[in-house]
Amino acid sequence: MTPETVAAPWRTGAHGVIYPQMASLLSTFILPAAAGAVALVLLLGLINMMRGGSPNTSQKLMRWRVLLQFVAIIIAMLAVWAMGR
């Protein structure tokens, strides 16, 4: 087998990056971890609010949640981009 026939199912980028493997890694491991982090911070914020915790803690948790949601959206867009390549 030649290298071309072995790599035929995989499209590679300019620097030899194998996009389907990157998409699989992003969508299988990294994106669920990011979504889990968002859910965890959201849950901590809800627990803090229900217990009547510090408003400063609630603000910090809300900021962390927004930041983690942004990161999760970026990861999701990277996965979609890699799947389309």
Q: Is residue 6 part of a domain?
A: no
Greater pLDDT, 57 or 2: 57
- pLDDT tens digits, 22-39: 778 777 888 999 999 999
Q: Is residue 79 part of a domain?
A: yes
Average pLDDT over residues 46-58: 94
Q: Is residue 2 part of a domain?
A: no
Q: Is residue 9 part of a domain?
A: no
Domain hosting 40: range is: 19-84
| Confidence grade of residue 17 (pLDDT, cut at 50, 70, 90) | low
| Closest-CA residue to 45 (of 33, 37, 74, 35) | 37
Average pLDDT over residues 4-24: 58
SS3 content of the chain, % helix, strand, coil (to 5): 80, 0, 20
pTM of the model: 0.71
